[in-house]
Amino acid sequence: GENVEQHPSTLSVQEGDSAVIKCTYSDSASNYFPWYKQELGKRPQLIIDIRSNVGEKKDQRIAVTLNKTAKHFSLHITETQPEDSAVYFCAASRSSGYSTLTFGKGTMLLVSP
């Protein structure tokens, strides 16, 4: 089955800095890679996703890059703000409505004012 490794487990940055979270996956058939943000005690929220037919996707201050050859993908957050503080999870699956997501263990991002 799929295995997703996520690094780092914690990341502390100053407000305004950039943050990068990296994930690797094992199943070469995976082609859907979402990122979720989870604030303390809240639900995971889908913030951005990428499919294998593109190498990069941006949405305002967040972007995701994908390297299918190396089987890794990354989340980039620019101009971080204190409200970006949360746990971020990456996941991978085959792009089928029957497929299940395999999640990484999460990265706790702390943005200091």
Partner 1 sequence: DSGVTQTPKHLITATGQRVTLRCSPRSGDLSVYWYQQSLDQGLQFLIQYYNGEERAKGNILERFSAQQFPDLHSELNLSSLELGDSALYFCASSVGGSTGSYEQYFGPGTRLTVT
The identity of residue 76, as a single letter, is H
CB of 92 to partner 1, least distance (A): 12
Cα–Cα separations (whole angstroms), residue 64 to 23, 40, 54:
11, 23, 10
Q: Is 24 an interacting residue with respect to partner 1 (CB under 8 A)?
A: no
Q: Is 113 an interacting residue with respect to partner 1 (CB under 8 A)?
A: no
Contact 91, 101 (CB under 8 A): yes
| Residue (80 or 107) nearer to partner 1, CB | 107
Q: Is 40 an interacting residue with respect to partner 1 (CB under 8 A)?
A: no
The identity of residue 71, as a single letter, is K
| Residue (45 or 67) nearer to partner 1, CB | 45
Q: How far is 67 from 109, CA to CA, in rounded Å?
A: 23
Binding site for partner 1 (CB under 8 A): 32, 34, 36, 42-46, 49, 89, 93, 95-106
